[in-house]
């Protein structure tokens, strides 16, 4: 009986594959008319499709002319609407064209699932009218998004604190930076709210409350060396960012030398976001292989999902001196039966000057043997070459960075790990050059 078990499982697998193919074929037949229509029409010029009709309950309008002129269009598979059922995150690849510059690939995001977007509409309506459905545009003028009007000089911490991870513990310095760099206005450059139009203020606050990723990209732009994708613009509830490259997961089985270089860059990102000249600590609360991408030409690692980034102002912490502010904060390792999970205290991240969270997040969820993703274990640095495995140093550093045995051991391990990976990457480059 046991001898026939693999054979039966094999037949079952083939049957399931056949059923899936037949199912997709049936769906294609049922959607034949829509299929041809999808290829003929550029839906990104449709105001309702991109939810421009919902503004100012939207993310901006700076790219609307480009959308309406047909300069932005979905790539092949993005045109097929029946495939949206698989695209839960509402992230699309598209082509953007300029007459003199040609076309280039961009990424379009709705910044949430259809359910999440519907829920924000219901919340706006309930706050304004007490009912889940209403005239969304009129409702926006009866919510907290409109109460911060032109008479209010500054966007202050007490108004928006806790709205999202970005402003879990905002300082005035951070909020001034967010307003000053807000890209969805023609008159950017001022931290005064009164310089924004009513609709622009509501769009900014809507973005801050629903999904602050665009504001993270604008406030800490790639042009200034921050490791985030470049923000391009928005129209309605469709945001455009620069296409970086393939996701980090695509390099899971890359040659050892490539993986070492990527690991080094990830630790450098953890360091930069923790310690920088601006005294802003940007803590990554959602770290997985899907949230990073690698440039095809320069091989540079970039953060491509910045929704869950908590920003702590170290200058404010030093100034206010909350309890234990100068005691180093160690993130606690915890066993987890889910992929990409982390243990952290937002309040502790907001009240300590020296924190090891980013090192812990990168080591546990991406690099070490504890990292699990899509059914695999071992992390990016799996299957160490024999000579490195015998040495034992790399594995010991990864373990200490993830699950430290010594007090404050992760801080030292992260420092030594960065140095060790830099040495390995340099050695690989030298060997290749020969």
The C-alpha angle 236, 237, 242, rounded to 5 degrees, equals: 100
SS3 state of residue 358: helix
Number of C-alpha atoms within 13 angstroms, CB side, residue 260? 21
In a domain, 226, yes or no: no
Residue at 53 is within a domain: no
Q: Is residue 133 part of a domain?
A: no
Structure confidence at residue 350 (pLDDT) = 98
CA–CA distance, 45 with 72 (Å, rounded to integer): 8
Cα distance between residue 215 and residue 377, in whole Å: 34
Is 131 inside a domain boundary? Answer: no
Question: Does residue 385 lie within any of the structural domains?
Answer: yes
Apex CA 280: angle with CA 274 and CA 285, to 5°?
A: 55
Q: What is the pLDDT of residues 385-425, one digit of tens each?
A: 999 999 999 999 999 999 999 999 999 999 999 999 999 99
Q: Where are the alpha helices (DSSP H) in 79-130?
A: 114-129
Flag whether 48 is in a domain.
Answer: no
Give the Cα separation of 394 and 369 in Å (integer). 11
Angle between helices 198-210 and 172-180 (to 10 degrees): 120
Distance of CA 346 to the CA centre of its chain: 18
Assigned domain for 365 exists: yes
Check if the beta carbon of residue 286 is closer than 8 Å to that of residue 307.
yes
Domain with 377, as residue range(s), is 251-433
Rounded Cα distance, 270 and 282, in Å: 9
Tell me what pLDDT residue 1 has: 41
Vertex 269: Cα angle to 434 and 328 (nearest 5): 125
pLDDT of the chain along its 434 residues, tens only? 434 444 444 565 566 666 765 665 655 555 554 544 555 688 999 999 999 999 999 999 999 999 999 999 999 776 666 666 666 789 999 999 988 888 999 999 999 999 999 999 999 999 899 999 999 999 999 988 888 866 778 999 999 999 999 999 999 999 999 999 999 998 778 888 888 999 999 999 999 999 999 999 999 999 999 999 999 999 999 999 999 999 999 999 999 999 999 999 999 999 999 999 999 999 999 999 999 999 999 999 999 999 999 999 999 999 999 999 999 999 999 877 778 889 899 999 999 999 999 999 999 999 999 999 988 889 999 999 999 999 999 999 999 999 999 999 999 999 999 999 999 998 876 666 55
Instruction: Determine the pLDDT at residue 186.
Output: 84
To which H or E segment does residue 232 belong?
strand 231-235
Alpha-carbon distance 288 to 268, whole Å?
Answer: 16
126 lies in some domain: no
Distances in Å between the Cα of 368 and the Cα atoms of 132, 362, 387 are 46, 9, 18
Residue for token pair 């450059």: 189
pLDDT attached to residue 429 = 67
Q: Which two tokens stand for residue 226?
A: 């921050």
- From its phi and psi, is residue 51 left (phi > 0), alpha (psi between -120 and 50) or beta? left
Residue 192 burial by CB count (10 A; 0-12/13-18/19+): exposed, middle or buried? middle
- CATH number, domain of 315, equals 1.10.510
Number of domains in the chain: 1
72 forms beta bridges with 96
Name residue, tokens 């509409």: 121
User: Could you tell me the sign of the dihedral formed by the alpha carbons of 9, 14, 16, 17, in that order?
Assistant: positive
Instruction: Tell me how far CA of residue 121 lies from CA of 87, 203, 204, 208, in angstroms.
Output: 21, 14, 16, 15
pLDDT at 433: 54
Kindly report the pTM of this predicted structure: 0.88
CA distance 108 to 213: 13
Count Cβ atoms below 10 Å from residue 324 Cβ, excluding itself.
11
């Amino acid at each position: 009986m046991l001898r026939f078990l693999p054979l039966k499982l094999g037949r079952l697998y083939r049957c399931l594959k056949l059923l899936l193919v037949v199912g997709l074929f049936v769906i294609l037949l049922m959607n034949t008319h829509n299929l041809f229509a999808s290829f003929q029409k550029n839906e990104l010029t449709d105001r309702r499709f991109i939810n421009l009709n919902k503004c100012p309950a939207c993310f901006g309008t700076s790219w609307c002319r480009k959308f309406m002129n047909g300069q932005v269009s979905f790539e092949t598979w993005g045109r097929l609407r029946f495939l949206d059922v698989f695209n839960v995150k509402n992230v699309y690849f598209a082509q953007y064209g300029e007459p003199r510059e040609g076309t280039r690939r961009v990424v379009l995001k709705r910044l949430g699932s259809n359910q999440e977007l519907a829920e924000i509409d219901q919340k706006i309506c309930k706050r304004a009218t007490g009912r889940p459905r209403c005239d969304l545009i009129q409702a926006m003028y009866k919510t907290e998004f409109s109460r911060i009007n032109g008479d209010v000089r500054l966007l202050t911490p007490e108004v928006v604190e806790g709205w999202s991870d970005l402003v879990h513990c905002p300082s005035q310095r951070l909020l001034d930076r967010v307003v000053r760099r807000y890209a969805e206005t023609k008159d950017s450059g001022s931290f005064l709210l009164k310089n924004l139009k009513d609709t622009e203020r509501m769009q900014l606050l809507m973005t801050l409350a629903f999904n602050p990723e665009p504001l993270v990209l604008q406030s800490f732009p790639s042009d200034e060396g921050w490791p985030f994708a470049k923000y391009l613009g928005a129209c309605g509830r469709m945001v455009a960012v620069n296409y970086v490259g393939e996701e980090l997961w695509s390099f899971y089985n890359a040659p050892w030398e490539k993986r070492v270089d990527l690991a080094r860059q990830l630790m450098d990102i953890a360091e930069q976001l923790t310690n920088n000249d601006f005294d802003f600590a940007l803590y990554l609360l959602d770290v997985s292989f899907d949230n990073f991408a690698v440039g095809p030409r320069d091989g540079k690692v970039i953060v491509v999902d910045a929704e869950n980034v908590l920003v702590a102002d170290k200058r404010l912490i030093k100034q206010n001196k909350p309890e234990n502010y100068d005691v180093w904060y160690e993130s606690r390792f915890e066993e987890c039966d889910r992929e990409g999970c982390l243990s952290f205290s937002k309040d502790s991240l907001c009240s300590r000057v020296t924190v090891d969270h980013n090192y812990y997040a990168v080591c546990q969820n991406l690099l070490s043997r504890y990292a699990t993703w899509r059914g695999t274990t071992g992390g990016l640095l799996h299957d160490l070459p024999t000579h490195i495995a015998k040495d034992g140093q790399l594995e010991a550093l990864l373990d200490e960075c993830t699950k430290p045995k010594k007090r404050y051991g992760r801080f030292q391990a992260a420092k030594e790990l960065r140095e060790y990976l830099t040495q390995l990457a340099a050695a690989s480059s030298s060997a290749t050059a020969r």
